[in-house]
Every structure is written in structure tokens, then in C-alpha cells.
């Protein structure tokens, strides 16, 4: 399990580096990094390096946290809440460090939006899984019924 988690984290780190920089460029109004990060780092290459690495940390934590879904004793809701809290616990300090979020009010707003989106994704997946379980149960019941009928025929013979 540890190896699987490390592989997920490595993939998440690489994906996080790319997604973080793309989103920063798209949402930054033409700036590749936030003005605050640029001022702290002193130059654009240094700021981009810091942003890239810290974006990778967010991705690594997000993907490593997927392993929480493998814990059999946990409900889907419990796993989703813990995974969301893990992501937010990593994201918020990084967002402050990178200048993506500058005030507590912004942090609360972003955190609330992240939780809402996560909840919508959770509800969507829950509905899909529930439908799959229902279908499997119906198939299993049909198989049992068919098997019972065969047993009855054999008993009569």
C-alpha cells in the first residue's frame, strides 16, 4: 500500500506542478505568479520555481490521499470528509505562501467553495456507486433465482 501511495503522490506532484502553473497563469490576469510572491522572491524565475514546487505539493497530497478510499472500515462519507480536509490543510498554507489567498476572508471563501465542489463530486460518485450496487444486487438475485429453479428441476427428477 505504501508503494501505491508513493506512486500516486509522485504522479500528483507532477500533475500538480502543471495544473498549478496553468491555473495561476489563467486566473492571474496575465501574470504568471502573484505580485506578492514575485516581490518575496525578487525575480520571476525564482517565483515560478517556488510556485511550481508548492503546486506539486498540493497535487501530491491530493493524490496520496486517494489511498484513504482503500480503508475498508471507513464509510464513503468519512473518507470523503477526511480527504477534503487533507487537501484543504495542504492547500491553504500553500495558497497563502504563493499569494493566491491574502486574507482570512478569502481563505474562508476559497475553503467553502472547495468543500462545496468536493461535496458535489461526492454526491455524484455516491449516486453512481449506489446505482452500480443496485444493479449488481439485481444480477445476483436473478442468478440465485435461476440457480434455485435448476435445483428444483434436479430434485424433481
Is residue 7 included in any domain, yes or no?
yes
Residue-range definition of the domain harbouring residue 8:
2-121
Q: Choose between 119 and 29: higher pLDDT.
A: 119
Quickly list H helices, 2-103. 2-27, 35-41, 44-64, 76-98
Distance CA 49, CA 56 (A): 11
HSE-up of residue 105 (Cα within 13 Å, Cβ side): 0
pLDDT over threshold 80, residue 153: no
Mean pLDDT for the chain overall: 90
Indicate the DSSP class of residue 29. T
pLDDT over threshold 90, residue 145: no
Domain count, the chain: 1
Is residue 129 included in any domain, yes or no?
no
Is residue 59 included in any domain, yes or no?
yes
Q: Choose between 64 and 76: higher pLDDT.
A: 64
pLDDT range class, residue 76, cuts 50, 70, 90: confident
41 grid coordinates? 522572491
Q: Choose between 45 and 145: higher pLDDT.
A: 45
- The reported pLDDT for the residue numbered 144 is 83
Between the alpha carbon of residue 112 and those of residues 101, 106, 154, the distances in Å are 13, 10, 62
- The reported pLDDT for the residue numbered 97 is 94
Amino acid at each position: 500500500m505504501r508503494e501505491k501511495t508513493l506512486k500516486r503522490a509522485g504522479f500528483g506532484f507532477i500533475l500538480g506542478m502543471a495544473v498549478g502553473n496553468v491555473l495561476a497563469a489563467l486566473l492571474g490576469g496575465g501574470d504568471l505568479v502573484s505580485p506578492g510572491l514575485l516581490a518575496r522572491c525578487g525575480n520571476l524565475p525564482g517565483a515560478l520555481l517556488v510556485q511550481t514546487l508548492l503546486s506539486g505539493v498540493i497535487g501530491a497530497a491530493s493524490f496520496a490521499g486517494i489511498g484513504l478510499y482503500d480503508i475498508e472500515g471507513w464509510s464513503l462519507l468519512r473518507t470523503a470528509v477526511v480527504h477534503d480536509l487533507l487537501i484543504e490543510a495542504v492547500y491553504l498554507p500553500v495558497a497563502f505562501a504563493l499569494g493566491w489567498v491574502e486574507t482570512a476572508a478569502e481563505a474562508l471563501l476559497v475553503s467553502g467553495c472547495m468543500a462545496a465542489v468536493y461535496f458535489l463530486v461526492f454526491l455524484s460518485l455516491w449516486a453512481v456507486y449506489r446505482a452500480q450496487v443496485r444493479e449488481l444486487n439485481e444480477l445476483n438475485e436473478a442468478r440465485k433465482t435461476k440457480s434455485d429453479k435448476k435445483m428444483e428441476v434436479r430434485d424433481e427428477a
